[in-house]
Amino acid sequence: MDLARRLAERGRYTVAPNPLVGAVVARDGIVLSEGWHAKAGGAHAEIMALDGVGGTALGATLYVTLEPCNHFGRTPPCVEAILRSGVSRVVVGHLDPNPKMQGRSVEILRDAGVDVEVSGDALFERQNEQYLHHMRTGRPFVHLKLATTLDGRIAAAGGDSRWVTGVDARNQAHELRAEAGAVLVGANTVRTDDPMLTARDLPGPPPAITRVVLDPSLTISPHSKLAKSAGDAPVVVFGSGATLDGRHRELERLGVEVVATPLTEDGLDLSYVLDELGGRGIKGLLVEGGGKTATRFVRGGLAHKLTLFYAPKLLGSEGVPMIGALRATKVAEALQFSVAEVEKVGDDVAVTLYPGGEEERVHRAS
């Protein structure tokens, strides 16, 4: 199962919005074949592994990180191929909460006489955190990423943020975009940086990232890089209903989708935004800021994971803070996070965190 989990990682930056899945066919302790899901619409890991032994695996064991599918999607059901192969035992890392699944594949295999074991190891849950979250809630898994100085500043006083971190950290941010499949920023980031928000410098062809902008007043320019590249990869702009007064038509002619969004006292309704994106099949969302946008996601309890890239620099109190007011007046009221990983990335340090004690609970469960 460890090998199957490592194989699944090969699809980390190409498989969105599908889950990561790895599979191994073995007999008498000898690995016969390996497989992994590389891209939506491509062969599933189980099929790749079974094809590697000529489609017949009589008496062998299939190890697969996620419950095999039992329904037609872009590809035929994997359960049927498993039954045809002659596999006598299947070890599953995690059940699939997809309403079409939820253990049904396990039942089908067992009813056909196949011995099935479900691991339930929390490591498989963590590996597919964005897919599983979407299946359970209908919303994307929100991963907040910020590049900051040691004193928590994401830009200088004048708004200059190029470049807080080094090239290695920026490249890793591109990997996070590809992993999520969608990236979100606020309107001020678009006005200040004019970003493309694509995933570049990755092995293989670049994935098409859905670019999302929170823009209550619809200030995004038709001449921005995002608007001009909307024909290459989706761009979705959430604005208030009052802004749909004709200004949106030029953006829509370029391929930008403008969505009228309810307002709350803090700005655009983020719950509405997440429901809308989840309904479009977006399972992962990388929030890249700026500071006001990051604050709203954190304060609202809507960020499920944080990655902070710390540069060995200081900007002082005049710089722009990475997180604004959280309405905490006592240390006891501070939002708490648990550290999942600390990694040196070039000259910078990446810290990955989860809200509260979630990471500790996962380790205890495993």
Residue 160 tokens read as 């200059």
- Whole-number CA gyration radius for the chain: 22
- Output DSSP code: residue 135: H
Distance CA 28, CA 90 (A): 14
- Rounded to 5°, the CA angle 276-281-287 comes to 65
Catalytic annotation on 34?
A: no
Distance CA 67, CA 97 (A): 9
Distance CA 266, CA 260 (A): 16
Residue 45 phi/psi, 5-degree rounding, is -60, -40
Distance CA 286, CA 212 (A): 10
Residue 116 phi/psi, 5-degree rounding, is -125, 130
CA dihedral 188, 192, 194, 199 (to 10 degrees): -70
Distance CA 118, CA 120 (A): 6
| Residue from 46, 67, 179, 288 carrying the catalytic annotation | 46
Distance CA 126, CA 9 (A): 12
Distance CA 100, CA 30 (A): 33
Distance CA 44, CA 34 (A): 11
- Tell me the three-class secondary structure of 48-80, residue by residue: HHHHCCCCCCCCCEEEEEECCCCCCCCCCCHHH
Q: Under 8 Å CB-to-CB from 197, ≥6 apart: which residues?
A: 177, 183, 185, 209, 211, 226, 288
Q: Are 64 and 23 in contact, with CB atoms under 8 Å apart?
A: yes
Distance CA 17, CA 306 (A): 20
Residue 147 burial by Cβ neighbours in a 10 Å radius (0-12, 13-18, 19+): buried
Q: Active-site residues: which are they?
A: 46
